[in-house]
Structures are given as C-alpha cells and as structure tokens.
Structure 1
Amino acid sequence: MSILDKKEIFTVEESSVTFKKLIDNAPVEIANTLNEKSVIILPSHGHDDAYYAGTLDTFDFLNENGVNTDIYASDDEYKELGLHGAEIWLGTFIIQSVVVPVFCGVISSYIYDKLKAKDDGNVALKFMVENKEGKTTAVDFNGKVENLSKAIDAVKSLGDEN
C-alpha cells in the first residue's frame, strides 16, 4: 500500500438518529414535509448544514424510482458543498427498514448505471436503517467501489431482520 492509497472505512454501529427525533427537532416547514417519507437525505458527513454536490440528482433519482425521499432542509436553507476530485460523495441517508430492498436496488443502480462508477473509484456514503422498533443502525463506507457490495449487503441484512 502506497502513501497515496486510502484506507477503507467500513463500520456498522448503533445510532441515536431516528425519524421521530429528526422530525421533532426540525423547523415546522421541514417537519411537515418529512412525515410519510421512507428515506431522508441528511447533511453531509461532518457538516451540519451542507449537502454534497449532486444531492438533488440523487434525490430526484430515488423519487423517480419509487423511493419516497426528502431532504432535511428547506429550499431556502439548502446549500451544497462543492468537493472536487475523483471520489463520489453521496452523503448520509436514514432509511425505514421496510424500503431497504427497494432502496438498495435503486441506490446501486444510481451508483453503477447513472454515475458510471468504476470499480477502482472511491465512494463515500452512510446509510442509517431504522427498524420497526425505532432502533437505528448506521453503515458507514468510504472505499473502493468494488468493495461497496459489503456495505449494501450489511444494509440489506438490517432490512431482513424486521
């Protein structure tokens, strides 16, 4: 491994983030739009109020493909963080376990077919799956696209538990 090679990050751990907490803590105009959503796109890793460039494309793709999604920001508050480089940054998603199978298929299609991700390219994302009891488990991945399947499989297994 050379000094230029990135170390892969892959973690699965409990999270305190839930749909209820997000909705309860959101301003009224945002909270009203989040009810009935299956997926919420959260601000980017390490940023409280910025989303990765391309978040609106991801949002549109998910909704066009049957995944009822919203962004955790009002139109006025939404701002993108422009990162440049070969890495694909998708951001953070909280997902209700009932839509996990559909979500995994659609997000995989988005990464491989729409973004044309190459196996040796890098991708960074975080999926948080909330089960029926309100317990959330986060799957964080930052590494080669060719290894992304282990993160997708981890998310699928969280959906299967319910």
Structure 2
Amino acid sequence: MLHESNLEKDINITDTDITFETILQEKYIPQKYIGDIKKANVLIIPNEGFRDNEGYFFPECTSEFYMFLKNHEEIETEICIDNDEFQKIELHADIIYVATLIVQYVVLPVVTSVIASYLYDKINSMNKEKKDSNASVHIIVEKNGKSKKIDYEGSIDNFEEAMKTLEQTIFK
C-alpha cells in the first residue's frame, strides 16, 4: 500500500467520453437536485468501486473540499450524489487525494487556482511544507462536447504551474 510519495509530478492526459451530458445519465445522480446539477460548471463525481467494495466512493476530504469550492462565486459547484449515498474512503496516506471533478473549459483556470489554494491550506493545517507534500488530482475538462481527463500525481508545489501549462495546450 502506498503511504507516501516523493514524486515531483506525473501528468497523464487522455481522451474520455465523460461529459456533463453523460454524467447526467449516471444512476448515482440524485434526481431531486438535477436542476442545480445542470446549472453547475464544476461537478464532483464519485469513483466507482474500491478494491473489493462495490458502490460509489469519494476521498475522505471531499466534504471539506466541496465547501471550499462552494465558497468561490466564480464557479458553480455541485456534488453528484445524494447525502444518503455518500461514502468516503479513508486511505491514511501522506498524499492528499482530491475528489474527481468534471469542469467546463472556460472555468479551468479558476478551478486550478482554487484547487491549489485548497491544497496549500490543507498542507498548512497539517503543519507540512508544500514542497514536501503530494497530491493526486483528477480533472475531466469539457470543451465543445469533447473531454480530456487530466491525472496529476506529484508535488503540491508543482501543481499550479503544471496545470497552467496544460490549460493553454490541452485541446490543441
């Protein structure tokens, strides 16, 4: 089991069929919140299955992360699960796992900055140095009906700069 990492940065970008439209068709979408979910330009989506467990799961700090995102008026954020169905995974690792997001391309720069701020705040609350701490972040970016998935694992110190570089070139 991985408990720590000294990885500077590992970034993978892949094409994906996941879009805001396909997310709306998922069985985990709470229909009573569908109106709010349709208005959002940032959605927190669950990971399906974990090891031998079936169901939908979120990293342990997802509730805190959701509230952090909701406090930024520049983005409209919703979480794609009913409160009764919310399950979290506690990995007890030195890596900060951020919930998977799907974002509209137009808000990607803002979301990147907000995630970086969240990671810095989280590290400060843990009395650690950002250069010595790592994160695992998964962002699906949609632009004009096409989506790319960014998987970042590495230093929190490198996250924002790496993402700013990608913002300009991801759909080229």
TM-score class, shorter-chain normalisation, is: 0.7 to 0.9
Deviation track 1:103-128 (CA, whole Å, cap 9, x = no partner) reads 12211111113443621211101011
Determine which of 123, 129, 132 is the counterpart of 2:135.
123
Structure 1 residue 36 and structure 2 residue 44: aligned? no
Structure 1 residue 60 and structure 2 residue 67: aligned? yes
For residues 70 and 108 of structure 2, the distance between their equivalents in structure 1, rounded to whole angstroms, comes to: 14
Determine which of 140, 146, 152 is the counterpart of 1:135.
146
| Number of matched pairs | 157
Aligned to 1:111: 119
For residues 23 and 31 of structure 2, the distance between their equivalents in structure 1, rounded to whole angstroms, comes to: 11
Give the stretch that moved more between structures: 78-87 or 144-153. 144-153
* Structure 1 residues 89 and 5: alpha-carbon distance in aligned structure 2, compared to 1, 3 A threshold: closer
Question: Residue 70 of structure 1: CA displacement?
Answer: 0.9
Aligned to 2:18: 17
Q: Which amino acid aligns with 1:143?
A: G
Question: Residue 32 of structure 1: CA displacement?
Answer: 3.4
Q: Tell me, yes or no, if the aligned pair for 1:139 and 1:154 is still in contact at 8 Å.
A: no
Q: Percent identity?
A: 27
For residues 46 and 101 of structure 1, the distance between their equivalents in structure 2, rounded to whole angstroms, comes to: 30
For residues 121 and 156 of structure 2, the distance between their equivalents in structure 1, rounded to whole angstroms, comes to: 13
Question: Residue 150 of structure 1: CA displacement?
Answer: 4.9
Task: Flag structure 1 segments of 5+ consecutive residues without an equivalent.
Answer: none
Task: Flag structure 2 segments of 5+ consecutive residues without an equivalent.
Answer: none
* Structure 1 residues 118 and 21: alpha-carbon distance in aligned structure 2, compared to 1, 3 A threshold: same
Query: Please, what is the CA RMSD of the aligned residues?
Result: 2.5
Give the stretch that moved more between structures: 111-120 or 72-81. 111-120
Q: Which amino acid aligns with 1:65?
A: H
Q: Which amino acid aligns with 2:117?
A: S
Question: Residue 157 of structure 1: CA displacement?
Answer: 2.0
* Structure 1 residues 118 and 152: alpha-carbon distance in aligned structure 2, compared to 1, 3 A threshold: same
Question: Residue 142 of structure 1: CA displacement?
Answer: 1.2
* Structure 1 residues 74 and 5: alpha-carbon distance in aligned structure 2, compared to 1, 3 A threshold: closer
Give the stretch that moved more between structures: 114-123 or 102-111. 114-123
Please show how residues 27-106 of structure 1 align to structure 2 within 5 Å: 27-44=30-47, 47=50, 49-66=56-73, 67-106=75-114
For residues 23 and 10 of structure 1, the distance between their equivalents in structure 2, rounded to whole angstroms, comes to: 27
